[in-house]
Amino acid sequence: MPPPTDGTVAQPVRPFNTDRLILALCLGIPVVGLLLFFIYPLWIVFIRSITEADGGLGIANYIEILGSKGFWRATVHSLQMGLATTAISIVCGFIIAHGLHRCSFRGKNLIRAAIVLPLLAPSLVQGLGLIFILGRNGLLNKWFDLGLDIYGFWGLLIANTFYALPQAVMIIGATLTLSDARTYEAAEVMGTRPLRQFWDLTLPNAKFGILSAAFVVFTVTITDFGNAAVIGGDYSVLATEIYSQVIGQMNFNMGAVVGILLLLPTLASYYIERMAQKRQFGGHSDSAVPYVAHFTPARDIPMAMASFLIAALTAAVIAVVVYASFVRLWPYNFDLTFKNYDITLAGGYAPLWTTILISLMAAAGGTVALFLLGVGIRRAPAAIAKIVYFMAVLPAAVPGMVLGLAYVLTFNSTATPLYLLYGTAGLIALVNFYHYHTQGYLTIMTGFRQIPTSLEEAASCLGSGMLRVVADVVTPYVMPMLAAVFFFLFMRSMVTLSAVIFLTTPKMTVAAVTIMRLDDAGLTSQAAAYSTAVMLIVTAALLAMKFILHKIGQHKSLEAKF
């Protein structure tokens, strides 16, 4: 190294500006994306919601909506549905999570597998499954002639509960695994009976997890469109209200108003949920010993039975869809056939291939964008990083319906050149990516946080420029998260309905929308067949992800050895 000549500190050999440029690109590209494809469309929704019939700005639309009976009915229904679903999902979710993490019985992997199923299917599959079991032509009505009508509150409640259950189980389960077995042993030695340990230790420590799960379930429920459209019947909720305003009455400004109003409770619930996460009891020591349950008949037998029952019902609703897709004429002729896989609706399987293409685009583009964002935000000045972080985690608070509406208002308007994107697969890939931006971002950042800063500093001191540090130090650490995010974005894009429902055109449509159209047309068995095909692809993606993560894991342990 050359000695300093004029008393200043020697400059690094690398030109400083190259790194600045790379940093600017890393941060700039994803941020421009967020501004253009998330913030700007939301702004347009807001503007349209206050645009009156004569073109002027004002709150007349809001006054009209707030004065309409239909809106209030949908709002009351949404809140009722949200609260009821949340209550049931949290109780059932806690039972399963407690069973999985705090009880000792066999077959937990079966429960885990059953609980993951709803995430692999479009959200209207629960509705379809319930129609096959409880509908007018369902098994129960056929066998017992009950005259059940499943459409409406009860059907939607059951469908939403099954749909939301996996998330409740995962969030509550995560808090249950956090605790230290030693605290339970301390309680034991102090003379605490098991039930008392549950009330004094388990429940208080799971409090914030339960709260978090409750808000997530509530948000998922009031913003879900698929099940509400399939099994809601006359029970209108806010999500279907937006749809009927926009698609039914072509009343875009009114749709925007409902969208903004739907945004309020989800924003509030999202904010509270994030606060709850931060309030998790801190100070979990590294030396914490994980809790290992020992078989206790009085606790484990009832818990196992309850867990298996709930998991079996969750799986049954989906399994019946797969089964029905092979049945000749439900519920009269149960001969097995592939007839239902011969899709008679226009387009046939074309939307399925389009969906795969869209999902690959969203997954690949999204993973790259999130990786750049991760690299950039770590090196950005604190003030900028804070703003970018806020933008990156905001999309989770925006319901898919609202984002989809925002896109249609923004990109179906000839006011800007962005119009060129309308009706393309690329735009649907974009809406899917930004819809699931937050989850992807948070996953990638867990990888970035694992990188010891000393490692990057050491590489820099050895003379690596930013590109080298990213390639040699950062990438190996975040590789598993990149793979996980890629498959997450792919799988979500395959099944999501709410965000894309407004963006599909007769020429450019996706699988989930086709399933809805098939169901609308009364071709329920074909809808089941189409759903099965989607689930097959998503399941294959899930298995591929597990395999690749396993491979990466092996690779890393090999590295550690040498």
Please give the single-letter amino acid code of residue 339: K
Nearer to other proteins, 84 or 187 (CB): 187
d(CA 117, CA 324): 17
d(CA 210, CA 276): 10
Total Cβ atoms within 10 A of residue 35: 12
Nearer to other proteins, 175 or 532 (CB): 175
d(CA 110, CA 63): 52
**What is the contact surface with other proteins in residues (CB under 8 A)?**
179-180, 182-183, 185-193, 196, 200-201, 204-205, 207, 281-285, 287-289
Nearer to other proteins, 191 or 417 (CB): 191
Residue in 95, 155, 83 with CA at minimum distance from that of residue 310: 95
Q: How far is the CB of 283 from other proteins (least distance, A)?
A: 3
Q: How far is the CB of 171 from other proteins (least distance, A)?
A: 18
Nearer to other proteins, 184 or 330 (CB): 184
Q: How far is the CB of 289 from other proteins (least distance, A)?
A: 7
Residue in 252, 249, 241 with CA at minimum distance from that of residue 81: 241
The count of C-alpha atoms lying within 13 angstroms of the C-alpha of 4, restricted to the half-sphere facing its C-beta, is 7
Nearer to other proteins, 3 or 282 (CB): 282
Nearer to other proteins, 204 or 248 (CB): 204
d(CA 17, CA 64): 56
Residue in 216, 227, 243 with CA at minimum distance from that of residue 127: 227
Structure tokens at 249: 């009455």
Nearer to other proteins, 148 or 187 (CB): 187
For residues 330 and 132, the answer to whether their CB atoms sit within 8 Å is yes
Q: How far is the CB of 284 from other proteins (least distance, A)?
A: 8
Nearer to other proteins, 147 or 297 (CB): 297
Q: How far is the CB of 493 from other proteins (least distance, A)?
A: 39
d(CA 180, CA 413): 56
For residues 89 and 161, the answer to whether their CB atoms sit within 8 Å is yes
d(CA 314, CA 163): 8
Q: How far is the CB of 194 from other proteins (least distance, A)?
A: 9
Q: How far is the CB of 113 from other proteins (least distance, A)?
A: 30
Nearer to other proteins, 20 or 284 (CB): 284
d(CA 115, CA 163): 10
Q: How far is the CB of 90 from other proteins (least distance, A)?
A: 19
Q: How far is the CB of 104 from other proteins (least distance, A)?
A: 15
Nearer to other proteins, 200 or 342 (CB): 200
The total number of residues shown for the chain amounts to 562
Q: How far is the CB of 278 from other proteins (least distance, A)?
A: 13
* H-assigned helices in 145-281: 153-178, 181-189, 194-197, 203-223, 226-231, 238-243, 252-278
| DSSP string for residues in 224-248 | --HHHHHH-TT---HHHHHHIIIII
Mention every residue, 6+ apart, whose C-beta is less than 8 A from residue 365: 429, 433
Tell me the three state secondary structure of residue 399.
coil
